[in-house]
Amino acid sequence: MFNVHSYTGTKEENYAMVIKQLKSLVEGESNKIANLSNASALLNQFLDRINWVGFYLFEDEQLVLGPFQGLPACVRIPLGKGVCGTAAEKRETIVVPDVHAFPGHIACDANSRSEIVVPMIKNGKLIGVLDIDSPEKNRFDATDQKYLMQFTECLLQYID
| pLDDT value of residue 75 | 96
pLDDT at 5: 64
Q: Is 64 helix (H, G, I), strand (E, B) or coil?
A: strand
Cα dihedral across residues 35, 39, 45, 51: positive or negative: negative
Query: What was the pLDDT predicted at 11?
Result: 95
Determine the Cα–Cα distance for residues 57 and 55; give it in Å rounded to an integer: 6
pLDDT (tens digit, 0 to 9) for every residue of the chain, 160 residues total? 556 667 788 999 999 999 999 999 999 998 999 999 999 999 999 999 999 999 999 999 999 999 999 999 999 999 999 999 999 999 999 999 999 999 888 888 788 999 999 999 999 999 999 999 999 999 999 999 999 999 999 999 998 7
